Amino acid sequence: MSFEAVIGLEVHAQLATKTKLFCGCPTRFGDAPNTHVCPVCFGLPGALPMPNREAVAMAIATGLALGCTIRRRSVFARKSYFYPDLAKGYQITQFELPIDEAGQLPVEVEGQTKVAGITRIHLEEDAAKNLHGVGDETLVDFNRAGVPLIEIVGEPDLRSGAEAEAYLRALREVLVFLGVSDGNLEEGSFRCDANVSLRPVGSAAFGTRVELKNINSFRFVRKALEFEIARQEALLAAGGEVASETRTWVEGQGRTVAMRAKEESQDYRYFPDPDLPPLVVDDAWVEEIRRTLPELPEAVRARWVSRGLTEADAKVLSAHPALVAYFDAAVGGGSAKATANFIQSEVLGHVVLRGLQARFPVPPEHLRALLALVAEGTINRKIAKEVFAKMRETSEPPDVIVEREGLAQLSDEGAIEAAVRQVLTEHPSQVEQFRSGKTAVLGYLVGQVMKATRGQANPRLVNEILRRLLRAS
């Protein structure tokens, strides 16, 4: 019997707010443990939570970008469970009435686009962080407790580890472009749980679901799902049964291992949080957020391809929203292709990306001015690379550097012809090779002329004059 995988992903994305979801404590990562805490974080008697308006706006923006219906009235609930990282004994989340519902996400896999459904997006607070292996103890850092998250619950529309990986990459890209999350997997601000089951090909019924918990790498998600699919298939083929359980991926062993039996919603005893009234948003606010949505990656790439970029160029240059803004500012009314080529070959190696922030080696207006000098023939591409290096060192605009260093391109035909004649005189064997049909030697002669003119001769004129003189006798 042949089986197919049924995969649905639950993604927790930390929102890029400055303060927590229900209090004013900062959300900064990496500070000393237990320094960003207050009575609300611990749920102490008399401490009342208050929703963070910015976090709600980010949840709405995400829903709009993913084509969701935005609930005008949603409800916060308490999800009760006992664990050391949950001082209150419950997590504030949304259950029956989430803020966003019924969206979709286009996913490209091996050149084909598949549309995966989004069941819901809801707001919730993060738990604290357990620090295992501190001597013989486990310690708890409550700095993360109460940090705002959105949980994006996908429909079970995915059928392979490759599709799941592509889905996660596309989703992270949308969140980063919206500016609602930095999508940092290493710091845990983008985490994934995967639900996977198998069913006979052609069957509409779902098999027994296994949850793979807290996988923090796109590659690990793919590997974990591929292993789990193979494991379940072997069990079913041998006449066994798949247990409903939560498992985790152990990279060192290259396999998933059981953690615990799978919880169901009734285990958490959800009920509306009595300290928080229903969350009500009006149409005007939703429309205001809709008007301010940024251009998303697919639209960016389509726009750039229409200006002459290849799909590959567009994909590289849309890897980060700051890179998109930089490219758009650098290209101006110039050649998109020339700008893309220069950024990829010279600029990207010096770009520093951290979260939603980016640092570039030169301002985009300086790069635009540099490429304009190339386009108008003031300098050639080789000299442009030298000027760019000096721009990085001095922060000066390119025209200042070109004038001071005397780097303007030599376009005087008489001067270039004199240099060409000198090179031909000094390299008689290469001249004979060219005239005997070995035209590849032309490149060597061009290089010698460029060397003689310190790289400043107009390459087009060098080629034209070389060919003319070589064929003249």
**Where are the extended beta strands (E) located within 164-319?**
190-200, 210-215, 245-250, 255-261, 271-272, 279-280
Number of helices and strands (H, E) in the chain?
Answer: 16, 18
pLDDT tens digits, one per residue of 160-169: 888 999 999 9
pTM for this structure? 0.80
User: What does the pLDDT look like over 309-361, one tens digit per residue?
Assistant: 999 999 999 989 999 999 999 998 788 999 999 999 999 999 998 888 899 99
Domain 413-472, second-level architecture: Orthogonal Bundle (1.10)
Task: State yes or no: pLDDT of 263 exceeds 80.
Answer: no
SS3 label, residue 400 = helix
Which of 131-135, 298-302, 349-353 shows the lowest mean pLDDT across its residues?
Answer: 131-135
Neighbours of 358 (CB within 10 A): 15
Contact 88, 48 (CB under 8 A): no
Percentage of the chain with pLDDT > 70?
97
pLDDT digit string (tens) for 136-166? 788 899 999 999 999 999 999 999 888 999 9
- Write the CA distances from 451 to 402, 413, 416, 458, integer angstroms: 18, 17, 12, 12
Phi and psi angles of residue 421, each rounded to the nearest 5 degrees, phi first: -60, -40
Residue reference for tokens 């760019």: 388
pLDDT value, residue 177: 93
Q: What local confidence, expressed as pLDDT, does residue 82 receive?
A: 85
The model's confidence at residue 411, banded by pLDDT at 50, 70 and 90, is low
Burial group, residue 443, by CB count within 10 angstroms (0-12, 13-18, 19+): exposed
Give mean pLDDT, residues 295-321.
Answer: 91
Domain ranges of the chain: 3-285, 295-405, 413-472
